[in-house]
Amino acid sequence: MVLAVVAAVLNAAASVLQRKAAREEPEEREFSIGLLFDLVRRPVWLAGIACVITGFLVQAVALTLAGVAVVQPLLVAELPFTVLLAAWAFGARPGVREWTAIGVLAAGLVLVVVALAPTGGDPVAVSGWTWVVGSAVVAVIVGATVAAGRGTTGAARAGWLGIGTGTAFGYVAVLVAAVGAIAGREGVHGVLTAWQTWAVVVVGPLSFFLLQTALQAGSLVASQPGFTLANPLLATAWGVVVYGEQVRGGAWYAMAAAGGAALVLGTFVLVRSPQLSDGDRDEAAPAAR
């Protein structure tokens, strides 16, 4: 769990640093490889990339030690860390609303983790057809959200792309969990011959490109909810439905539902913070209008 929180801090730093660089790019650079060539010349963007890589490695270790339904929900902590780091980066300070929302979100996270308490699961035992069906569902979700984003502008575009990005990174997490399980049983040879390893090599960079586009499309206010909620939602569902991770039932469901509601409430209050309205060209946060 500690490693998951560390990964959340690194991801938050990456979001703020990359947003700080991407916000300076013209809007017509969206969905363009040229956007990446421009960004790579910016030291602040490179610092964000260093945080992305380090966070990914820490998260990969966490996923090999625990199931995706355990690790990914903890990454929701990325949002409050993003608000705090954005406040520092953009010269502001959190107020009562921000601290209250952070408290609500933290309480919701604790409730979800304690209530579900996922255990078990075996990524290696998943059949090929299950992988095909599950991967196709993910592809449809990502494709639909990207298409919706391309068909809109401003905050709506950033919001749709944020959901697609969160879903894509959630899928990368389930792939990494599978690679970790294979490594534990078959060693290096198993990792190099597993299709999931090469899927990470393909899907990871595509998810990263989608992240840059979402960050450039609009403010963190618009894109961060998708980053925050879609990732753990997809990964947790996959862990329970596909990997067979066991969660507690009965009255624990009510506790998990209450925690989930607190997570959603805390997220949507927190993303309206002026700390995330970083002076974007034409889509300041609703609270700042």
Evaluate whether 213 touches 161 at the Cβ level (below 8 Å): yes
For residue 28, pLDDT over 50 is answered with: no
Q: What is the per-residue pLDDT for 284? A: 36
Alpha carbon distance 107, 227 (integer Å):
19
pLDDT at 243: 92
**What average pLDDT does the structure give for the chain?**
81
Alpha carbons 276 and 131: distance in angstroms, whole number: 37
| pLDDT band of 53, cuts 50, 70, 90 | confident
Which of 153-162, 171-180, 272-281 has the lowest average pLDDT?
Answer: 272-281
When divided into structural domains, the chain yields a total of 1
Asked if pLDDT for residue 121 goes beyond 60, the answer is yes
Is residue 149 within 8 Å of residue 164, measured between CB atoms? Answer: yes
pLDDT higher than 90, residue 98: no
Q: Which domain holds residue 125?
A: 2-288
Helix (H) or strand (E) holding 18: helix 2-22
Q: How far is CA 62 from CA 65, 72, 156, in A?
A: 5, 10, 33
Overall pTM > 0.75: yes
Distance between CA 231 and CA 229 in Å, rounded? 6
Residue 171's pLDDT band (boundaries 50, 70, 90)? Answer: very high
pLDDT digits (tens, 9 = 90+) for 217-237: 766 667 777 877 888 889 889
Provide the pLDDT for residue 280: 45
